[in-house]
Structure formats: C-alpha cells, structure tokens
A and B are shown apart, each in its own frame.
Chain A
Amino acid sequence: SAVISQKPSRDICQRGTSLTIQCQVDSQVTMMFWYRQQPGQSLTLIATANQGSEATYESGFVIDKFPISRPNLTFSTLTVSNMSPEDSSIYLCSVLLGTEAFFGQGTRLTVV
C-alpha cells in the first residue's frame, strides 16, 4: 500500500491569490495524479505528473492555472493560481500501485 500525506487539509483564500498543495508519498512512484472533486460530484483528473518532465493536462485544465511540480519520485505540488470562487473544491493527489489507486486526504479549498 501507499501512504500519502497531503497538506493543507483545508484553506480559505481570497480571490486572485494562489494556493500550493503538497503531496508526499512514502514510496517512489513514477506517476502522480491530481484530481478535483466538486461538492456532490465525482473525481475529475486535472493532470498527471511525471518526474523529470512536464505534467500532462486533461482537457479543460491548463498549466498557467494549475502549475505542477514533480522534483522527485516521492513529492509533487499543485498550485491553484489566480483563484476565483469557481475554484472552490476538494483537490486530491493520487498514486497507482499496481491497479489500486491511493489518495491523499484531500485539500478542501474555499475561495471567497
């Protein structure tokens, strides 16, 4: 199994500011995934982060809005930039071990 430490667990931010979310995994993994989960909705993949290369973004998500860092095989950050109330959501990082996905505890973001 994998243990992922994600922080912050929650934050309330002013519109126009940025928030960086961190995830630390207890083992080395090639890919890390960043998801968004809006209230009452399922998980939507934002991007896949590979160590040593640029992240791959899904349709509707761009690097300028959600820059990602992946400095090594156990760590990644997602920044939510120039936030607006529409960015209020839960953000989750995830890794795959075999076919099983493990998730961080999530970051509950509220933009006011």
Chain B
Amino acid sequence: RKEVEQDPGPFNVPEGATVAFNCTYSNSASQSFFWYRQDCRKEPKLLMSVYSSGNEDGRFTAQLNRASQYISLLIRDSKLSDSATYLCVVNGNAGNMLTFGGGTRLMVKP
C-alpha cells in the first residue's frame, strides 16, 4: 500500500462546477498535511496547508479527518486556470521528510 494515495483522475469538469478530491495516508503518526499544485511542466507549489480544524482560502477548502486518515480538497466555482495536478503531501514523523501522493489531475473546460 502506498503511503499517500490519490485518485489520479483526470477529473473533467465544466467551468463553475464544484469538485472534490480525497487523499488517504497510511502513517497514523503523520503531523502535517498539505495540498500542492503542479502545472504542466512546472514545479509543485504550495496551495494550502490542511489543519485539523479545516482551512478555507477563497474557493478552496481543505479538511483533515485523522480518524479515517484522509484529507480532502474542495474547489468551488472552478475556473479554467484551476486546471493542474493537485498533490497531497504528508509530513511524517521522520523529521522533515515529505511524502507525496501520485497527484490528481483536474481539467476544467469551458
């Protein structure tokens, strides 16, 4: 079993739609959780951190369920510019090591 698992997609949605991604992690001792965005042929960049109390930033909402060991990302009112791969990232208990999920590809169409 992979340490961090994501549905690879692609998720094809129309502009304005709401889309949600889930991610599961295997290490129950994981401390920190993040969503990164990676555009085609670019490096990953931090989208948002995921806190136990949930985190909202504009159209983006991230939530953490420690009991079930999953993380979610909700995107409302999708824009064409949201098309990218979204990486679920977990920081375990081994110092600063980050573990990346395989990524979920989102394509927003007009």
Please list the residues of chain A having a beta carbon within 8 angstroms of any beta carbon in chain B.
31, 33, 40-45, 48, 92, 96, 99-101, 103-106, 108
A-B contact pairs, 28 of them (CB 8 A): A31-B96, A41-B102, A42-B87, A42-B100, A42-B101, A42-B103, A43-B100, A44-B100, A45-B97, A45-B98, A48-B97, A92-B43, A96-B96, A96-B98, A99-B32, A99-B34, A99-B91, A100-B34, A100-B46, A101-B36, A101-B44, A101-B89, A101-B98, A103-B43, A103-B44, A104-B43, A105-B42, A105-B43
Q: B62 → chain A, closest Cβ, in Å?
A: 14
Give chain A's interface secondary structure class: strand
Distance between Cα atoms of A108 and B43 in the complex (Å): 11
Chain B: interface residue total (CB-CB under 8 A): 21
B49 at the interface (CB under 8 A from A): yes
Residue of B nearest to A104 (CB): B43
Distance between Cα atoms of A96 and B36 in the complex (Å): 14
Distance between Cα atoms of A31 and B95 in the complex (Å): 11
Q: Flag if A101 contacts B46 (CB, 8 Å).
A: yes
Residue of B nearest to A100 (CB): B46
Distance between Cα atoms of A48 and B34 in the complex (Å): 20
Distance between Cα atoms of A59 and B20 in the complex (Å): 33
Known contacts A31-B96, A42-B101, A96-B96, then 16 further A-B pairs from the complex at CB < 8 Å, ordered by chain A residue: A41-B102, A42-B87, A42-B100, A45-B97, A45-B98, A48-B97, A92-B43, A99-B34, A99-B49, A99-B91, A100-B34, A100-B46, A101-B44, A105-B42, A106-B43, A108-B41
Most chain A beta-carbon contacts within 10 A, residue among B32, B46, B91: B46
Contacts of B49 in A (CB 8 A): 99
Residue of B nearest to A41 (CB): B102
Residue of B nearest to A40 (CB): B8
Distance between Cα atoms of A105 and B44 in the complex (Å): 9
Contacts of B45 in A (CB 8 A): 103
Contacts of B101 in A (CB 8 A): 42
